Copies of this chain bind each other. A is one copy, B any other.
Amino acid sequence: MSIRRLNTQQPDFAAKFSELVAVDSSVDPEITRRAEAIVQDVRARGDEAVLEYTNRFDHMDAKSVAEFRLTEDDLKEALETLPKDQKDALTQAAQRIREFHEHELGQSWSITEEDGTKLGIRYIPLDSVGLYVPGGKAAYPSSVLMNAMPAHVAGCKKIVMVVPTPGGKPNQLVLAAACLAGVKECYTIGGAQAIAALAYGTETIPAVDKIVGPGNAYVAAAKRYVFGTVGIDMIAGPSEILVICDGKTNPDWIAMDLFSQAEHDELAQAILLTDDAEFADKVAESIDRQIKGMSRKDIISASLNNRGAIIVTRSIEEACKVADTIAPEHLELSVQDADKYIDQIHHAGALFVGPYTCEALGDYCAGPNHVLPTSRTARYSSPLGVWDFQKRMSVLKVSKHGAEKLGRIADVLARGEFLTAHAASAMYRVHDLEKK
């Protein structure tokens, strides 16, 4: 292992740091082209195209798209037949995630003015949502909970899941999670063809209003393409953790926290910031020692060697400033008196406060969502939440007297914009009052 070591006091820190956190957001044009061709084909030919692509890419031999359909009963059965420890853990996680997300529900409101004019915002659940779940090894039941539960809590009646089964057999934990998160309808299809089916609908698969969930480069390209026809969620980059530690946490804990991000993906990024140079050495030593026992040690090593870093800072305050420039997806504040640093962090997807709050607890079961902004987008975006599945509608009801007052203002401003029909429309309501 040779994890990068930096110090904010070294003269070339700024340059080295920029290199470390550079984001490669390039998109392969060939993948985009192929994904778009598949989407257009499914849009044109519907079920027939979905069937062909699924049989070809997932090595299936189905005669109709109906064969890919799983019913609510299939999902229930998956849950009921899980080993008890898994069923219990999944059920408890689902309940905690549901309860937390219920606090996120937006409430309609209105204000009534003295003249009777009433103005407000209505919150309305989306009618239908599509949930993409990757197949194979990256099929994460926790992601099913995290993506579907906010839609379920928002009140979306139709949540349609798609999940490819290249091996022919669906992951039972994934189906069980879907059952717990309110999914009623599922198709074992994937790739750009599944995104197209959800965006435009086919004879068998219903069109939805929004598609969420992670996928490979083809899925991401297909989502970008159908955006506008349907809503989409963020397109996630590689996962990131940044740990700020004052040297008072067990270095083995910190090393393992870094591993827990690095094991996702060779492109994942795990960074430690500490104001304690000796502690930095201890964590480096712990990394070298603990890596040997890890089942995914090749991925972890690649991630830490390529994109990991241990950075010594002048202070915890400085570490918070550095963290803000990274705007990491996950940020652990593993320090004593962690509370007092919370307000120094402005950009992060989720903040894990204190040594007991390791990221893994948030990934699975604490309650808040684990779908978080990556690649510095935490500067302007937010965790997935109920807010992504409720839309808002302005509601205006202007009284007769209100129309007189507002009409005169609108008249002046509309004429200032040379929009005379706007002015006339407003003034009709003003004159109506004057007549009486």
List A residues at the B interface (Cβ < 8 Å): 25, 85-86, 88-90, 92-93, 100, 103-104, 109, 111, 117-119, 121-122, 124, 126-127, 137, 140-142, 173, 209-210, 228-231, 235, 250, 252-253, 256-257, 259-260, 262-264, 294-296, 300, 338-339, 342, 345-346, 348-354, 356-369, 372, 375, 377-383, 385, 387, 391-400, 402-403, 406-410, 412-414, 416-426, 428-429, 432
Contact = CB atoms under 8 A, between A and B. Distances in A.
A391 B424 CA distance: 40
Number of copies: 2
B356 A398 contact: yes
Contact of A126 (B109, B140, B380, B406): B380
A394 B209 contact: no
Contacts of A418: 137, 295-296
Contacts of A420: 263, 294-296
Contact of A350 (B93, B103, B394, B426): B394
A239 to B, nearest CB: 11
A358 to B, nearest CB: 5
Nearest to A237: B228
Contacts of A391: 378-382
B396 A366 contact: yes
B406 A361 contact: yes
Contacts of A119: 100, 366-368
Interface centre among A100, A111, A409 (most CB of B within 10 A): A409
Given A127-B346, A339-B397, A350-B393, 18 more contacts: A85-B412, A119-B367, A126-B379, A126-B380, A228-B235, A231-B380, A349-B393, A351-B396, A353-B397, A356-B400, A357-B396, A361-B396, A361-B406, A361-B429, A378-B391, A382-B391, A382-B393, A387-B392
